[in-house]
Structure 1
Amino acid sequence: MKIIIEEKTSKDEEDTIIIRCDTLDDSIMKLIHQLKSKDELLIGTANEKIARIRPQDVYYFESVDHKVFLYTEKDVYEIKQKLYEIEDTYQGMDYFRVSKSVILNLSKIQHLSPVLGSRLEATLLNGERIMISRQYVAALKVLLGI
């Protein structure tokens, strides 16, 4: 892979990224999606305060009693999006559905441990533990190359 970086000739010129490839594979699609969503912020509420959260700061999303919550390293926010909307928006990035009610940021996993019943337990960088349902374990192993 060759990377070329050029400075703009004028300040009025828009930043431009050109990707030249033989085939548009998953790794390139992931890169494109990351570039596009870099400036998008999630809006969450906690204790009557509104916060703007960067997608890369999210550890996981969880649906509880028809509400969706976003978890960061230390805080929890309620968001308006549904899990299927989040899954669609961040498809191709480091987010993976690990159960019917949780979408996990794979980059926040410290390690995985097997649990009875063919499930896995993910220990996150902040020490939290998330159970991965057995119906999602095979796809996760393929994704992680395990």
Structure 2
Amino acid sequence: METILVRDYKKERDVYLDLFSIFYIEYLDRKCFFYTENEVYERRLTLAQLMKELPEPFIQISKTTILNIYMVKEINSSLLNGNLYVTLQNTEELLVSRYFSKALKEKIDQTFRNK
């Protein structure tokens, strides 16, 4: 799967979005919001349903967020509580909860070690 059907409300139509243009996905009010460099799209489904559809570079980093690891520029540790912060290619920062931080580190290490 290289694309996903999402809603573009600016154009008031459904479009196929290239998965690898997605920076991250956020679940809010029973909808998934897909963030690209310049746009936000949405689709009504759960994160669990979406995770079954997404390919390798996507990983859940919190209860409500899925990250495309190819968009990560930098990872920073929090000294206070074990959470991580990732800086994306577009300079946006996301919180990685400590529950998901080990899996993220392993996935990034595995993905980029095999390249």
TM-score by length of 2: 0.84
Amino acid at match of 1:87: M
Q: Quote the residue 1:108 is aligned against.
A: 71
Equivalent residue letter for 2:26: E
> Gaps (5+ residues) in structure 1?
1-36
- 1:116-127 map, 5 Å: 116-127=80-91
The amino acid across from 1:102 in the alignment is T
Tell me how far 1:48 sits from its aligned partner.
5.6
| Residue number in structure 2 paired with 1:129 | 93
Q: Which has the higher contact order (CA 8 A, sep 6+)?
A: 2
1:137 to partner: Cα distance: 0.7
Q: How many residues align?
A: 108
- Percent of aligned pairs with the same residue? 27
Counterpart amino acid of 1:130? L
Larger strand proportion, structure 1 or 2? 2
Residue 103 of structure 1 aligns with an amino acid whose one-letter code is I
- Structure 1 or 2, whichever has the larger Rg, is 1
The offset of 1:64, in angstroms, is 1.3
- 3-state SS of the aligned residue for 2:107? helix
Deviation, structure 1 residue 140: 1.3
Matched AA of 1:119: N
The 2-side partners of 1:83 and 1:48 are apart by 25
C-alpha displacement at 1:67, in angstroms? 2.0
Q: Deviations over 1:25-66 (max 9, x none)?
A: xxxxxxxxxxxx13x333223236223211111111101122
Q: Mark the runs of 5 or more structure 2 residues left unpaired by the alignment.
A: 111-115
**Aligned equivalents of 2:22, 2:92: Cα separation in 1:** 13
Q: Secondary structure at the match of 1:107?
A: helix
RMSD of equivalent CA atoms: 1.7
Runs of 4+ in 1 over 3 A off after TM superposition: none
Please report how far the alpha carbon of residue 120 of structure 1 lies from its aligned counterpart in structure 2 after TM superposition: 0.6
Aligned match of 2:10: 47
Alignment of 1:46-125 (within 5 A): 46-47=9-10, 49-50=12-13, 51-91=15-55, 93-115=56-78, 116-125=80-89
- How far apart in 2 are the matches of 1:129 and 1:104? 11
